[in-house]
Structures are given as structure tokens and as C-alpha cells.
Structure 1
Amino acid sequence: MPAKPVIKKAPLKKAPAKKAAPAPAPEPAPEPAPAEAPPAEAPPAEAAPAEAAPAEVAPAEAAPAAEEAPAADAAPPAESAPPAEAAPADAAAAPPPPTEPAPPEAADAAAAAAPAAQPPAEDAAAPAAPEAPADGKTSAAAAAPPAEEPKAPTPPPPEPEVPTSEPLNVSVEDVNDTSVTIKWRPPEKIGSGLDGYVVEYCKDQTTDWIVANAEPTPANRLVIKDMATGDLLHIRVVTVNPGGRSAPGALAEPVIVREVVDRPKIHLPRVLKSRLVKKVGEKVNLVIPFSGKPKPVVSWTKDGQALDPKTMNIRNSDKDSILFIRQVERSHSGKYEMSVKVDSFEDKAAIILQIVELPGPPTSIKLADTWGFNVALEWTPPQDSGNTEITGYTVQKADKKTGDWFTVLEHFHRLNGTVSDLVMGNTYSFRVFAENKVGRGEEAAVTKETAQILKQGIHYQPVDYKEHDFTEAPKFTTPLSDRAATVGYTTKLLCAVRGYPKPKVEWMKNSMIIGEDPKYRMINSQGICTLEIRKPSCFDGGVYTCRAKNSIGEAAVACKLEVKQVVNPAAEKKE
């Protein structure tokens, strides 16, 4: 009967169950941190029971397979899957299976069900591994108390939303009979951001503000369209952000919706583009042309204030404006600004007028030192410079005996100087004038003390210079040269001589002194000696000598002159 072998194999089930059951009981509860990690070797753990299940086919081979599978998979569940260990712990708490002998039919059923119902302790971790991701968390939470989550810090209260400041420099860029174009600059302070700008307008004599743009515009320019010609509009611009609306930036004056034919323009002369300098008492007559249609409105200001009609006159025409001052004063200096305006369009030009006059005297002057024939002076700049820069100083001296003032330093730029070459025994006073572009000041600063040039201890010894001896014996710097002349043609002999005292020059022919012969002309100018022979003949040839003689000595040079006759070849052939 085949049932007998099955009964003999029943003890194979008891040995692994007794050895593995007490093993997982003493292990401590797993820590919560590794309990969350899923076991890496879970799938192989399921393979062991799957191979061990068909016990009816080969029960003897199933047991070794079941024992090898937990051995290979035991390490990963022990390291990384504490929930897999918790499953054997629950299995250990259950009562072990009975060891009493069973009937043959019951033994066969128990042998088939034993590998599936009561696996060994080593194999208990393997079936539990697939359920580790779900059951492991539950068993870890049951084994250890749940850790308290750290509380998040309390967030600070949100900052309040702040609106921006008002837009700047709201002005009109263009206007015609149906629209108005305005522009502006961003606000100085940006609160909680900037979403855009809203432009609103209100017709004159009404209080209803109408929004020109349905949505806030990020640009700094907007065209207000579909306006009626002749409307007088008040316009303002508001910024919008999460904090709300800002204060409005409005136009200074209302705008008339109409076509401007010619915008106003000031044609400032080139002379007035730079600083205009005038002297006190002079006349100022400035003619400044402009253009614009309709006729612009002209206005003048001085340093931001209206002009005083008592001291200056303004005359305006359709094409120019005249600023006239009969006699200018220092108070007329400043920045004059002319403005021409047509509706909301405006053009401006600035003119700087500087009225200058003579400077005042230096604030103080003193004698710094006196030695020998010299005096050192020091002074300070004048308090009144004449409304222009100081260009220099003039220093004068006066002798106490005569009282006459003489200039010793002029156009002097420093604030200290030295006066020299004073007369011994005299007493001097000094004064200093300031100078600017207009000229020298009328008043001067005078020294309170006097400088006395003492005689004691001063002895002047003139230097003894040896006079140079310029005496020199005659010496020819350019000698005579031999020459050839033609009969009937005048010729000259030239040489140069120097010496001191001035030497006397004589000419000789063949060692004979040439006297007052009209045939010869002798010239001696600045040491250049010339002998002119007029229309020489064949008998005028020979040796000519020039001799120079003074009290120191004498010198002579000579040359040979050859006079040739011109021969006519045609006459010789006839003969």
C-alpha cells in the first residue's frame, strides 16, 4: 500500500518546527526607522514556499528546498526588514503542532499541509516578506510608540500692503481736435509692487472723473481718444498695486482739446546761450525772437520770481520779446527765464546775466620781513571781488621824503611778494590794489608800519672788472686768387682782412704801389678789400699785392693776373 511510506516521512516535519520555533521569541522589537524600509529580497522569500508546496509529489526533496531558501534570504530580512522578523514572533506565540501519531489518512493530509500551514522558523520570514511594505509599517508601529512630529515654526504675520507714491511730472505730449496724449514718470516710492497706471479725466465745471483706460497700463504714456473739440479737461494719473490706489498726479492746468497749428519755440541767439557779462552802469537790451500759432503767451522770471517792472521793462510782440534795462546794477545779476506757451505746450530759455564792477581793496596787508635792500609783504584777498574772479594785484611803494607812489609789482598773482632795490637810508610805505576783468580797484590796502633801510653795516664794494684787450695785428681771412681777364672787360680782385686798430690797406702791382691812377679803383668796406681794374689791356697783367698795416704789425697777400687778347678766327684766314 502507498500509505505506509507517507507515515514514515511524518517525523521530517517535527524536527524543523522544534528548532525554529523558539528562535524569534527573544529578539527585541524593531526600531521605527528601519521598519519603514521595504525588504530588498522579498520576492525570493515567496519562491521557497512555492517550491515546497507540492509535498505529495516529492516530500523528501521539499524539506531541503525549504531549508535552503530561508538560509539564502535570511540576511536581507534581518538587516533591512524588521517587519519580516515580527511575523515569526507572532508565529512563535502560537502553540506548536501536536506530535502524537495520527491515523494514516490524517497523516497524509497533515504531511501535505504541514509545509504550507506550519513552515519552519527560518522560512517564516520569507512568506512575510511580500507583505512587508504594508504589514511591516503596522507591526513596527505596534512594536514601538509613534514618534512625535516636530512642530513647524509659527510664520510671521504678512506685511501690510503699501500703495506707491503719486506719479511724477505729468505733462501733455500732444493734443489735437479729438485726443490728448499725456506722459509721466514713475513714482519715487514703490510700495508693494506696481501693477500699472490708471488715467482719469474730468471735464471742466463737473466733478465726475472718467477712467480713460479700462485696464491699468504699464507704459508711461497714454492717448485719451474720442474727445470733443473745445473740451477743457482736468487730467490725473494714479498708480495701482496690491496696496490700493496711490495719490493722484495731476496736470498743473487743464487742457483744451483743439488743434495746435504751430507749437511755441524760442529762437535764442547764440550770444545769449553763454553767460552775458555787463559792467555796472551799462545798458542791457536783449531781443529774443520766438514762433508759435496761435499767438503764444510770453512770461519772464528772475531766479524763479516775477520781474520788478520798476527796474526793468518787458516789451512783447507777435515775433519777439525785448528785455530792457537802462542802467544795470549788481542786483540785476541772476538767471532770467523766458517762457512762451500755447495752451498746454510750452518752451523755455534761460539767460544768465552777470553784472561786474571794480573790486574792493585787499582785506589786510603787513610787513613780513626787512633785510638789506629788500622788504617782504603779505596781504589777503578783498572782501568784494566785484562779482567776478580776481585776476591779479598791483604793489606800489612810496618814499617818506617825497610821498610819490611808484609801481613795483603789476598783475601779480600771489598773496605775498618781495620788493627789492630799495635806497639805503630811506623809509618806505607800501600799498596793494586788487584787479579783475573790469580793471584795477580804486581803493588800496596800505601798510600801517613803514620799512626803514638802515646804513649801518652795509658797505658796497663794486666788482673790479679787467678790460679786455681787443688789439690785433692785421690778418687776411680771405686771400687773393689768381685770375685771367680779357682785354677791354673790367675785372675785380677781392680779399678780406681783420685787425685792431683798423689797418691801412695798400695795393701794389709788381711790387710798385698803385697811386691815384683813374684806371684803378680801391674800395675797403668792413674789412673787404676790392681792387677794380677798368678795361685792362695786355700791359695790365702781372702780380698784384694787397698789404694791410697797423700799429701792431702788417700782412700781405698776392695773386697773378693774366690779360688775354681775343683772336678772331675769320680774320686770320683772310690774312
Structure 2
Amino acid sequence: MPSKPAPIKKAAKKEPAKKEEAKAPEAAPAEAAPAETAPAPAEVEAAPAEAAAPAEEEPTPPPADAAAPAREETPAAAEAPADAAASTEETPAAATAEAPADAAAAPAAEEVAPAVDAEAPADAEAPPPEELKPPSPPPPPPKEPTSAPVDLFVEDKNDTSVTIIWSQPEVVGNSGLDGYTIEICKDGTEDWKAVNEELQKSCRFVIKNQTTGDRLKIRVVAVNAGGRSPPVALPEAVLVKEVANRPKVRLPRFLRQRYVANVGEKINLSIPFTGKPKPVVTWTKDGQPLDTKRVNIRSTDRDSILFIRTAERDDSGVYEMCVKVEDFEDKASLILQIVELPGPPASVKIVDTWGFNVALEWTPPKDNGNTEITGYTVQKADKKTGDWFTVLDHYHRLNATISDLIMGNIYKFRVFAENKVGMSENATVAKEEAKILKTAIDYKPPEYKERDFTEAPKFTTSLNDRATTVGYSTKLLCSVRGFPKPKVIWMKNQMIIGDDPKYRQVCVQGICTLEIRKPGNFDGGVYSCKAKNTLGEATVSCKLEVKQPVVPDSEKK
């Protein structure tokens, strides 16, 4: 029984040591380094227990006090087991010598050790979170170069340069892409040289200042922080020489027909063409070389310009442009026509004069202004006033008849010529004058038969039956026609009314009216209107009813 408290005290000292080892693995390796030479884990676990035995001989505080530091885990308590373990590892012989002397304590230590080992992992797995140290960051991955560029081919070339294009690498990596290096070497050698001093950012490069006829091997390398990528090279060496294309003149549509310009205008015609290498351009006019004093030619790689500062009639003609590349050539022609106002007609004469008419004839102008005549303008002037008036304009024939002239006047005539530019500045005047003579005229008016308008009377509107009230005047109306003017007679019950003042008879322009003034009970009956002339007579009748007014019953009483 007395031997049991000692192992408990040893276990209490051993537990802080294991916790400290779990908390600070980086501080203990220097002291624990000899422990790596231990032959077996059993001996390592027993060594701290035996090393704690000398600590019992030294004055120690009661077991309760010894357990307190273990719970508080102060740095002093943590260092004590570590020192004890170190001393035990340094003197294994002393530990083995004390083992037989304290035989009773050894079994006790062996019984407690498993319990301590079982508790230690539990304490080590749950350390206080505030004392954990952050893990150190992983080392950065190594920088790698990109993959090789792709799709390298020749875009264009000429006698001194080669233009290449390519696409960026499929795999760029984590280091990005800084640029490209373009390298060349002559065919048959491996002496590669970079042609760009600084890294090329774009995927297009012009290799300049090369010798015509050389064969070059070309490759491109992508560069980044990881170094150079594998190169991509052209499958075959490139011959430094202009690619020959057949020349072709592309004559604009408006020049495929006759090009017309006025005298004095500026002419500037640009004609594009294609072909490689740059075609040789030549011009001719009507099959002869151009007069460089009058016509200027300026050619570029793409077009040729024909320029005339001030056009003249002599500049008209057929101009031919020829472009030539090696043994190939192409030609195009354009017709240039410089026009101006025409001259006047060559002659004008009066052919005949009769009545109020004059016949004229004229001939075309000698100078048509380098274009066709589109018409003529004819004017006349009275000799008394001398004012000219246009009689015909845009007239296409070479003869005309002028009419509606005034009798007794003397006239002069002149003619202008017209073309697409305009009317001639001058006119040709007829030498003769035309005099319109006064002649006696016997006027005989035509004889017309007088129309016979005689007609027997005829009523166009008849009388209508009417009804009226006693004391209210009324009218009877009808209309009649006839020639000579018919006589109108009004009758009542076949009796002629005559000049009775009760009746008023009016007949104006065939409209016949009979007004009955305030008729009475005996004024009703049949009224008739008779029209009569030498050719006959006509009669119309109507019935007139005169009613009594309605008297209310109150008035009767």
C-alpha cells in the first residue's frame, strides 16, 4: 500500500512533459535528439518513470501541490519532466541499477504507465486553440515556360523582307507571356540569330533588310519568366523574292464610256491596278507617247493618275494604259473628249416670202465645238425697233417657215447653233430682208338663213287645282310659249274675266299669273287660261274651291 502513491506522483509529473512535447515540437528536438537512438518504445516509456525516482529523494511538495502545476501547465513544470527525461536518456546505466533495488516500485510504474499513455493522446488531441501556431505556407510552384507558338506561316514577302504571322501558345502557364523572339538562319546552316532586339508583343513581324535570293529558315520562340518555349519553325526555307502576280487594270465604270470635259477644266483621273512586284506603267495617246508638257502621269503601287491642269481641244483622243510584270501585261483604253461652244451656222438665207410668211434655210456651223449639234435657235427683229425675239428654239431641222408676221413691216432673221455645252456666242444673220406687203382684201361675209322661230302657243306648265279660305287671297300660275307672242285671256266658268278689279292679271316672259283678292263664297269655280296667236291657240283649266272659315263653339254662342 505505501508504494502506490509514488507511481501516482510520477505519473503526475510525466503528463505535463508529454503535453509540453505536443505543444512545442520545435523547441524540444535539441534535447530529445539522443532519444532517437533508443532501441525500443518500451524502454523510452519506462525511462521517464525510472528517472523520476531520484526526484523522490529530493525534498518535494505534497502530492496535491505536485498535481497543481500539471493542471496549470506552467513553463517551469513543462521543463522539469523534459530535463528529467533528458537526464534519464543520458544515464541509462544508473536507471538500470536502481531497478532491482526498488523492485516493488517497478511493477507499480509498469501498471501506471499504460494509464498515463492512454491519457496522453487525449490531452494532445485537444490543445487549447489559443496556443496553436499557423502552418507555414507551402513553397511557390516552380515557374515553367509556355508551350510552343502555333500556326506559323508567311503572310507576304518581297525582294528585301518577309512578313510572318503566328498564334499564341496553347498553354501559357502561371508565369504569363512576356513576348516572342524571332530567329532566322540561312538554309543549310544552324547559325540561328534573333532579328528583334526587344521581345515582340504582337503575333506579326516583318523581317526586313534581307538579301534578294537568300533562303531563310525562320522560327519563333515564346519567352516568359520560366524561360524559352520550344520553337515553332516553318516547314521549309523561304526564298526572299517578290511573289509575281499577273497585272490587271481595273478601269472605273465611268471611264468605260467616252469621258467628256469642257475646255479649261481640270482633269484628274485615277485608274487602279494590281500586280506583284510593282508593275511598270506606261501611257500612250493615239498610239504615240504622251506630251509631258500637257499631261502629267503619277503612278503608285496601286493606281496611276492622269492629270491635266487646263484641258484643251487638242487633249482629246484615245489614251491607253499598260501595266507589265515580267512577261505579263494588261491594257485599258479610255476616250477623252474636250468640248466647247459651237460656232454659228455657216450661212442663213431667206428663200421665199408670201402673205404673212417667210421661208428660211441655213447650213451647219463649221466648228461644232468637238461634239454634235443638238439644235438651232431662230430669232426675228422688226427693222423699225431692232429688237430681237426668239421664234424657234431647240429646232433640229435646217429650214423653217416663220408665220404670223405683221403686214407692212420689214423683218431681219438670225440663227444660233447649239450643242451639249450651250448656244453659240454669235449668230449668223440673213443678208436679205423680208417685207410683208399690204394687199387689198375683199371681205364677203357669209350668208346665213334666218331661223324661223314662229310657233303656236303651247303651255309648258298647266294650272293645278287649288283650295282657299274665304277672305284669303290666292294666285293661279301657268307658263306658255309661242311666237309671235300669244295673247293671254283668263276665264271663269267659260266667261272672260276682263278688267274686273277683283282680279289681277300679270304675264311676264311667258309666266301668267291670276291673283284673286279676298275671294268670297261665290268666287269658287273653274278657271281657264287661253293663249292665242296667228298660228293657233291653247287652253288650260283648274278648279278653285273656296271654304268657309271654322268658327269655334264659344264664338257661336
Q: State whether TM-score is above 0.5.
A: no
Q: Give the TM-score normalised by structure 2.
A: 0.38
Query: Rg: which structure is higher?
Result: 2
Q: Give the TM-score normalised by structure 1.
A: 0.36
